[in-house]
Chain A
C-alpha cells in the first residue's frame, strides 16, 4: 500500500498515544499500516499521478493506463484480479453530470483494468440519497455505458452484508457492515468525483466510500454514519475496508455548495494513486484547499497515508500546473479557513 520510506524522523510517543496505538494495533498490524513505520520512526510516503484531460472525449483508458505505468502497476499485478469500481452516484439528476463520476471515466477505468488482464471488473454503488438505483443509473448516463459494454453492476444498498470489526476506532461503532461483494473481489477502487462538500469540506476518494455502506443497514442518506460523525466515519470505513486504488474525476468537478447543489468547474484532470489520503490531499491542492484543514485528512495523516506535499511523489503533471481554486462559501463552516495559501 505504500512505497518505501524516504524520510526518517524520531517521533516521541506520549503514554496516551502509546495506549491508543495498542488499542488499535491489532487492526493496524493486520492491515499492514503504519505502526511499524511509526514505531521505527519512518514516515509514510506515496505516489500520485495527475493526468490532464480537457474533456471526457479524451482517450481516458489510455490516460489511466499511463497512470498505472507511472505508479508501477503492471499487468502481472492485475492479471487474474477481480476488480470492484465504486463510482460516486450519490444523487444524479438529468443534465447535471457534475454531481457524479462521469460514465466515460467508468468506461475508461473498466477498459484499463481489463487491458492489464483483470479477470473481471464490476461496477458497484449504493447511492446515498436515492433508493431507486436503476433510475440513478439511467439519469447519470451510466446505464447506457454499462449496457453497451456488457459491464456488470451491483446495487450495494440492497446487498446482503458482512459484519466486520471497526478497525478505525474513530466512531463509537464497534462493527461496520459492508456489502458481501467486498470480500469477493481482490481490489476495491474508489472512482470518485472532485467536489467541495458542505459538511466535510471536500469529498474525494475516501468520502466516496460512504456509498459502499448498504442503505438497508445504514439508511438513506446513510443516517448511521452521519450520526456517528462524518470525518470519523470516513476514517473508520477506509481503515476497515482498506481500498487498493483511487481515481478521482476532476475533468469537470463541483465547486461551491457541494456535493449536490454546487456548480460545475473544469479542472481537466484525473488524479490517481494507491494511497487514498495522498490522492485526496493532492486533489485538495489542485482545488486550492489546504488538506491539513480537512479534518479526516488531517487525522489520516501518517496513519492511513501521507498528506504532506513533501511525502507525496508526484507523477504526471505537477499539481501547481493544474491548480484551479474551487469556489468556497464563507457561510458554510466547513469551508472556512481551508483555503490553501
Chain B
C-alpha cells in the first residue's frame, strides 16, 4: 500500500496524462518524451497505474524515429538526449523490446565530436574520449554520457566498448578535488567547481563498474552537500547516486517530504523533477534497483559490436 504523500503525487502524475498517452512537462502543456519516460519509470517503480504506463510507452514508440532515437521534439531531432530515458521506460516489458533494441542501437552508434586536445593548459580534459552529447555534432558532456552509460548497463551492455569508453570519459572529467560539473575540469589551468546534480548522476552511472577509490572524493562531496539539497533534481539524483553505492541516507523520506513541501513555496514541480524524486524515495540501491523487482526482465543480447 502506497503511503501519503507519495500516493497523492503518483495520482497527480496519472491525472495529467494526455489522450495520446504522453505526459507533459507541466500540467496543461503538450506531451514530451522526457516527461513521459520519467512518469513511466516512477509509476512503474511504485507499481502504480500499469495501464497508464503502457499508454505512455506506446506514446514513446510513436516518437521514435527510424534510426531508433527519441528526441525532445520532432522539430529538433538533433536533441536526442531523451533516448536513454525511453530505454528505461521500456525496460522489462516484452512488447517494447524491439523499440528498446533500436534505441540501444542508436545510442551505440551515436557520439559527440571528439578531437585531440591541442593545448591541455587551456582545456584540461581529454577531448578525444568518446562519450555522448546533449545535441548531435557537439562535444560530449557528463549528464548525457552518464544517462547513456546507465542505459547500456541496464540492458546488459556494460562491457561494450562504448560503455567502457563512456566510463573512461566520465572518470577523466572528474574534478581533481572530487565531483563533476557539466563536464569541464580545468580551464586555463584553473580547476572548476563541482555541482551536486552532475556529480550525483555521474556517481549513479559508475556504480557497479568502477572501483570505490576512484570516486571516493566525489561521494564525500555529495554526502557533504546532501543536507542542504532541497530541490527535486539535485536531491533526487543525490539520493540515487548515494544509494547506488550502498549509501542511501536513513532520512531519505524526511528529505523527500521537505522537498515535496517546497511546492507550497515554488508551485508544482515539473513532472520529470517530481517523478525523479519519487524514484529516489522508492529505490533501495540507486536507479537500477527500481527495475530488479519487475517481472519478465529479459536482458538484451550483449553480443552487439
Contact = CB atoms under 8 A, between A and B. Distances in A.
A259 B143 CA distance: 22
B187 to A, nearest CB: 7
Contacts of B265: 147
A198 B188 contact: yes
A172 to B, nearest CB: 11
A130 interface: yes
Contact of A217 (B79, B189, B195, B229): B79
Contacts of B197: 130-132, 135
A129 interface: yes
A202 to B, nearest CB: 16
Contacts of B229: 135
A323 to B, nearest CB: 26
Q: How extensive is the interface on chain B, given as a class?
A: 35 or more
Nearest to A331: B188
Contact of A134 (B135, B192, B266): B266
Interface stretch (B15-23, B150-158, B230-238): B230-238
Contact of A227 (B30, B81, B137, B141): B137
Contacts, number: 97
A219 B141 contact: yes
Interface stretch (A15-23, A108-116, A157-165, A308-316): A157-165
A131 B190 contact: no
Contacts of B141: 219-221, 223
Interface in B123-148: 133-135, 137-139, 141, 143
Contact of A220 (B182, B190, B231, B270): B182
Interface in B265-281: 265-266, 270, 273
A128 to B, nearest CB: 9
A147 B262 CA distance: 12
B21 to A, nearest CB: 19
A138 interface: yes
Nearest to A143: B266
Interface in B37-57: none
Contact of B139 (A135, A143, A223, A257): A223
Nearest to A227: B138
A257 B188 contact: yes
Interface string A99-142: 00000000000000000000000000000011110110010000
B18 to A, nearest CB: 14
Contacts of A132: 196-197, 231, 233-234
Contacts of B30: 160
A205 B220 CA distance: 38
A251 interface: no
Given A219-B135, A227-B138, A138 B79 contact: no
A216 interface: yes
Task: Report which residue of A91, A220, A332 has the largest number of chain B beta carbons within 10 angstroms of its beta carbon.
Answer: A220
Give the secondary structure class of B's interface.
Answer: loop
B165 interface: no
Interface residues of A, number: 35
B25 interface: yes
A93 B134 contact: no
A168 interface: no
Interface string B200-234: 00000000000000000000000000000111111
A329 interface: yes
Given A129-B181, A147-B265, A329-B188, A216 B72 contact: yes
B188 A332 contact: yes
B76 A177 contact: yes
A182 interface: no
A56 interface: no
Contacts of A218: 134-135
Given A227-B138, A261-B190, A131 B233 contact: yes
A158 B270 contact: yes
B134 to A, nearest CB: 3
A215 interface: yes
Nearest to B236: A132
Contact of A260 (B76, B113, B192, B266): B192
Interface of B: 25, 29-30, 72-73, 75-76, 79, 81, 113, 133-135, 137-139, 141, 143, 181-182, 187-190, 192-193, 195-197, 229-234, 265-266, 270, 273
29 contacts: A129-B181, A131-B143, A132-B197, A132-B233, A132-B234, A134-B231, A134-B273, A135-B197, A135-B229, A135-B234, A143-B266, A158-B25, A160-B73, A163-B75, A198-B188, A216-B72, A217-B72, A218-B135, A219-B135, A219-B138, A223-B138, A224-B135, A226-B138, A227-B139, A257-B188, A257-B190, A261-B193, A329-B188, A331-B188
Given A160-B29, A223-B135, 10 more contacts: A129-B195, A131-B233, A132-B196, A147-B265, A220-B141, A220-B143, A223-B141, A257-B190, A261-B190, A261-B193
Interface of A: 91, 93, 129-132, 134-135, 138, 143, 147, 155, 158, 160-161, 163, 177, 198, 215-221, 223-224, 226-227, 257, 260-261, 329, 331-332
